[in-house]
Amino acid sequence: MLLISPPASRICEAYPALARLGGALKAHNIPYRILDGNLEGLMHMINSEVSNDDTETKRAFRGKQHSLAILTSTTGYTNFDTYKSHIKRLNRLLNKSILINGQEITLANYQDPTLSPLQSEDLIYSSNHFEDNPFYSWFSKRIPAILEEMEVTGDSIQFIGLSVTFLSQALTAFAIAGFIRKIRPDIQIIWGGGLITSWNGSPGSRNLFHERDIVISGPGEIPLLKLYGIESNSNFIMPDYDFALQNKYLSPGFILSYNTSVGCPWKKCTFCPEKYEDNPYISEKRTKVTKELKALVGKYNPILIHLTDSEISPAMLKAITDNPPGAPWYGFCRFTKLLTDLQFCKHLAASGCKLLSLGLESGDKQVLKAMKKGITLEDVPIILQNMKEVGIGTYIYVLFGTPEEDREAALRTRDFVAQNAHLIDFINAAVFNLPVNSEEAQYLNTNNFYEGDLSLYSEFVHPKGWGRKEVRQFLKKEFSSVPEIRQILNRVPPVFDSSHAAFFL
């Protein structure tokens, strides 16, 4: 089996899905290869010819090997301005690559102005016209070469799996699928990943896939093994990252991406797709997680562990604190009561916790209550103070434009953030998107947010006149302009934001 992660998304680490799937196949002696097409495809474009010979592009082209060397070593993360300049140079090379029809590529994204990943017709078009995809010059050579290598060694290739997590990967994933069907119609394509799970069952997905394709929603280990006649009851088989060690990701060392669970243990927030997709929360046993993390650290010696859970549960936080993995780590969790305990936070820091991403969303009590966020606003400054005291960085998420919010509530959030700015290291300020299937969508005046039958969100008429236009103006003129807040926003790493934030603490 060949497992592929298509371009384009952040190329700072190997995503855990393929490592999990590979680990499941390896545990049952099923031959497989993993192709991190995300990294390889973007690196191919960086090393391609450029379409513009202006001075800045020439300088970036001549210095690209230096930029790559800087961003894959610890020295590249000692000066934030130097780091930003090299990110800018590589992004420029991607933007100046030989593209057609105004296509745009960055170190974390791919967009085509003529095709939408939210329109099933456009995805089918991409599949049928795969040679128009900007990554065609890469995958049209690389995939046949890998298939030939596998078959020379005697591996029987029945399936090729495409793991699609982000919208920015979708057009290229379908182009790759179309190419595979053309050159190897005997091989079945398996679709999986977060985006495919979100699309599953939507009206637009009915004609997306060929009748021979296999579509998997949620964790793929059990259904993948079932294709080989193997019954398994675990979604958490030891992941295999051997493929990642051969690659140079844009990070100062190997980042071990690892999930202790799938789904969300809270799953009550009104703004979150996790609630409305209704995917089950599945958590691995805590003793197994701590044991496995130590084994993976011993094998791969990561510079950082990224726990990719939608939320690290309080019970798992305790388990990792009591049994440290042996390497620095970070992840996302809620403003849980557990973090108001300074002694626990000291132990948390001692376990290697480098940074916590924390969802505040709003600094207004009534908005938080209406969101069913489940946090106590008075706890937030205590938790932030504890984090600062023990040396754990904080990456805070705030969300504006929810149906419950008005301008006054947004101002309270702004003031709350400004008052606690000395305790906050990084901020992500986002504009609310209304999930298509949310309860709120049933009583709001809605229309398509994006033009496309695969859209996961709806536009709506804000009941308090606090629409997207007003929110964006507020963020630009009244939120980001506050000196204390602007200073924090300026510290956020461009392109890679939370993925690289821990390296700048």
pLDDT digits (tens, 9 = 90+) for 375-388: 999 999 999 999 99
Does residue 403 lie within any of the structural domains? yes
Domain CATH for 199: 3.40.50
**Whole-angstrom Cα distance, residue 348 to residue 317?**
8
Rounded to the nearest 5 percent, the helix, strand and coil shares of the chain are: 45, 15, 40
Check whether residue 13 and residue 123 sit in a common domain: yes
Check whether residue 183 and residue 260 sit in a common domain: no
Q: Is the distance from CB of 383 to CB of 339 less than 8 angstroms? A: yes
pTM: 0.94
pLDDT tens by residue, 333-367: 999 999 999 999 999 999 999 999 999 999 999 99
Does residue 237 lie within any of the structural domains? no
pLDDT tens by residue, 8-46: 999 999 988 999 999 999 999 999 999 999 999 999 999
**Percentage of the chain lying above the pLDDT 90 cut:** 77
Q: Is the distance from CB of 126 to CB of 163 less than 8 angstroms? A: no
**Whole-angstrom Cα distance, residue 446 to residue 462?**
9
H-assigned helices in 200-242: 221-226
pLDDT given for residue 273 in this prediction: 75
Using a 10 angstrom Cβ sphere, with 0-12 exposed, 13-18 middle and 19 or more buried, the burial of residue 121 is middle
**Whole-angstrom Cα distance, residue 42 to residue 64?**
13
Terminal CA-CA length for the chain: 41
184, 209, 226: which is the final residue of a domain? 226
Q: Is the distance from CB of 131 to CB of 100 less than 8 angstroms? A: no
pLDDT given for residue 450 in this prediction: 57
Check whether residue 296 and residue 442 sit in a common domain: yes
Check whether residue 276 and residue 391 sit in a common domain: yes
pLDDT tens by residue, 84-96: 999 999 999 998 8
pLDDT given for residue 453 in this prediction: 87
Token representation of residue 198: 């979100």
Mean pLDDT of 46-61: 84
Least confident range from 202-216, 263-277, 303-317: namely 263-277
| Residues 52-69: b if buried by 16+ CB within 10 A, e if exposed | eeeeebeebbebbeebbe
Average confidence score pLDDT of the chain: 92
Mean pLDDT of 248-259: 95
| Size of the chain in residues | 505
Which residues, in sequence order, are CB contacts of 313 under 8 Å at separation 6+? 261, 265, 283, 333
The parent domain of residue 7 ranges over 2-37+112-226
Give the count of domains, the chain: 2
Check whether residue 180 and residue 270 sit in a common domain: no
Q: Is the distance from CB of 454 to CB of 117 less than 8 angstroms? A: yes
Check whether residue 168 and residue 276 sit in a common domain: no
**In the structure, what pLDDT confidence band is assigned to residue 203 with cuts at 50, 70 and 90?**
confident
pLDDT given for residue 171 in this prediction: 98
H-assigned helices in 301-436: 314-322, 342-350, 365-371, 379-390, 407-419
**Whole-angstrom Cα distance, residue 430 to residue 211?**
39
Residue 265 has pLDDT above 80, yes or no: yes
pLDDT tens by residue, 122-156: 999 999 999 999 999 999 999 999 999 999 988 88
Residue 417 has pLDDT above 90, yes or no: yes
Token representation of residue 338: 């557990």
Q: Which residue has the tokens 């000066």?
A: 79
Domain CATH for 480: 3.80.30.20
**In the structure, what pLDDT confidence band is assigned to residue 451 with cuts at 50, 70 and 90?**
low
Check whether residue 313 and residue 409 sit in a common domain: yes
CA nearest 397: which of 373, 379, 365?
A: 373
Does residue 57 lie within any of the structural domains? no
CA nearest 370: which of 334, 400, 402?
A: 402
Residue 82 has pLDDT above 80, yes or no: yes
Does residue 448 lie within any of the structural domains? yes
pLDDT given for residue 440 in this prediction: 76
H-assigned helices in 237-313: 273-277, 286-300
Does residue 495 lie within any of the structural domains? yes
Does residue 357 lie within any of the structural domains? yes
Check whether residue 281 and residue 162 sit in a common domain: no
Residue 101 has pLDDT above 80, yes or no: no
Q: DSSP 3-state assignment of 364?
A: coil
CA dihedral 190, 193, 194, 196 (to 10 degrees): -20
Does residue 476 lie within any of the structural domains? yes
pLDDT tens by residue, 274-310: 776 777 888 889 999 999 999 999 999 999 999 999 9
Q: Is the distance from CB of 363 to CB of 232 less than 8 angstroms? A: no
Q: How many helices (H) and strands (E) does the chain have?
A: 20, 18
Does residue 101 lie within any of the structural domains? no
Check whether residue 406 and residue 267 sit in a common domain: yes
Least confident range from 83-92, 189-198, 404-413, 436-445: namely 436-445
CA dihedral 350, 353, 355, 357 (to 10 degrees): -130
Which residues, in sequence order, are CB contacts of 24 under 8 Å at separation 6+? 221, 224, 225, 232, 237
Which residues, in sequence order, are CB contacts of 368 under 8 Å at separation 6+? 361, 362, 375, 377
pLDDT given for residue 183 in this prediction: 97
Mean pLDDT of 193-214: 87
Check whether residue 256 and residue 222 sit in a common domain: no
**Percentage of the chain lying above the pLDDT 70 cut:** 98
Mean pLDDT of 204-215: 89
CA dihedral 305, 16, 140, 253 (to 10 degrees): 10
Check whether residue 215 and residue 134 sit in a common domain: yes
pLDDT given for residue 422 in this prediction: 98
Phi, psi angles (nearest 5°) of residue 160: -125, 125
Mean pLDDT of 65-85: 96
CA distances from 38 to 9, 35, 138, 289 (A): 7, 8, 11, 27
Check whether residue 386 and residue 286 sit in a common domain: yes
